[in-house]
Amino acid sequence: MDQDYDFNLLVGDYSYGGLPHEFARTFKNMHQKPVIMAVGNHDALGYSDQLVQREVNFYQRIGTLGFYFLFVLNTNNLADCQFVNDSRVDDSIEFLNQNIQLSSADEHVFIVTHQPVYSTDMFGSHKYFSEQIEAFLDQNQDKKIRAVFSGHDHIFSAFRRGYQYQFINGAAGPIDNMHSILNGNRVWSADSLSGPLEVKDDRCLGYEHHLDSLMKVTRTEVTFQGNQILYTIRDLDSNQVIKVYTQDF
The yes-or-no verdict on residue 190 having pLDDT over 50 is yes
Domain assignment present for 236: no
Domain assignment present for 238: no
Domain assignment present for 197: yes
pLDDT of the residue at 17: 67
Full domain range(s) for residue 141 = 8-222
Domain assignment present for 227: no
Domain assignment present for 239: no
pLDDT of the residue at 180: 53
Domain assignment present for 115: yes
pLDDT of the residue at 206: 95
Task: Name the domain count of the chain.
Answer: 1
The yes-or-no verdict on residue 192 having pLDDT over 70 is yes
Domain assignment present for 41: yes
Query: Could you tell me which residue, 235 or 80, shows the higher pLDDT?
Result: 235
Domain assignment present for 244: no
Over the stretch 124-183, which tens digit does the pLDDT of each residue have? 899 999 999 999 999 999 999 999 999 888 889 999 999 999 999 876 555 655 555 555
CATH number, domain of 73, equals: 3.60.21.10
Q: Whole-structure pTM over 0.85, yes or no?
A: yes
| Distance of alpha carbon 84 from alpha carbon 7, whole angstroms | 28
pLDDT of the residue at 85: 87
pLDDT of the residue at 240: 94
Helix/strand/coil (H/E/C) assignment for every residue in the chain: CCCCCCCEEECCCCCCCCCHHHHHHHHCCCCCCCEEECCCCCHHHCCHHHHHCCCCCEEEEECCEEEEEECCECCCCCCCCCCECHHHHHHHHHHHHHHHHHHHHCCEEEEEECCCCCCCCCCCCCHHHHHHHHHHHHHCCCCCEEEEEECCCCCEEEEEECCEEEEECCCCCCCCCHHHHHCCCCCCCCCEEECCCCCCCHHHCCHHHEEEEECCCEEEEEEEECCEEEEEEEECCCCCEEEEEEEEC
**Which pLDDT band holds residue 231 (cuts at 50, 70, 90)?**
very high
The yes-or-no verdict on residue 107 having pLDDT over 80 is yes
